[in-house]
């Protein structure tokens, strides 16, 4: 992934944050780190409160070497909170139901897509959804796919 090709506003799914800590997949780890660094540097990256919750759950419980509470607090203040631009509302959940019906994604993936749509992101970086698909104007890109 070339950072000069990053869109003006992009959304990071939880798996991007998780991969930035995964030394067992160094190429994915490097790509994820670059995306997060650019998201913070340019202030063009975004996540939602859902991503904060999912990441901390994984980092504190499921990492090969789980984060300590103090490490979690540090990451929360330096990465997650600066990127967190979306908090749900009741109307958000109504839109997520419509997107779930339209896109046929799981409920939690529909929440991620809806947050990206709400923020008017051009791109949603995710390993878990259909690469290249556009949902309500947001293009889903798997940054770990090999580009020709």
- What is the per-residue pLDDT across 91-108, written as a single tens digit (0 to 9) for each? 999 999 999 999 999 999
Position 53 pLDDT exceeds 80: yes
Q: What is the dihedral of CA 135, 139, 144, 148, to 10 degrees?
A: 120
CATH of domain 7-141: 3.40.50.1010
Query: In the numeric block, which tokens belong to residue 115?
Result: 């947050």
> What's the rounded mean pLDDT across residues 40-50?
97
For strands 134-135 and 138-141, give the pairing: antiparallel
Residue 91, helix vs strand vs coil: helix
Q: What is the dihedral of CA 140, 144, 145, 148, to 10 degrees?
A: 110
- CA triple 68-70-76, angle to 5 deg: 105
Can you give the pLDDT at residue 148? 36
């Amino acid at each position: 992934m070339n950072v000069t090709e990053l869109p003006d506003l992009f959304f990071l799914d939880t798996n991007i944050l998780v991969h930035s800590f995964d030394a067992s997949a160094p190429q994915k780890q490097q790509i994820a780190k670059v995306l997060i660094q650019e998201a913070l540097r340019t202030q063009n990256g975004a996540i939602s409160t859902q991503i904060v919750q999912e990441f901390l759950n994984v980092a504190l419980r499921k990492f090969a070497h789980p984060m300590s509470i103090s490490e979690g607090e540090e990451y929360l203040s330096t990465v997650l909170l600066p990127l967190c631009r979306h908090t749900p509302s009741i109307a958000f959940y109504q839109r997520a139901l419509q997107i779930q019906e339209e896109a046929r994604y799981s409920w939690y993936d529909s929440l991620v897509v809806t947050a990206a749509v709400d923020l008017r992101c051009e791109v949603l970086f995710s390993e878990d959804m259909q690469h290249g698909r556009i949902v309500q104007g947001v293009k889903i890109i798997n940054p770990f796919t090999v580009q020709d």
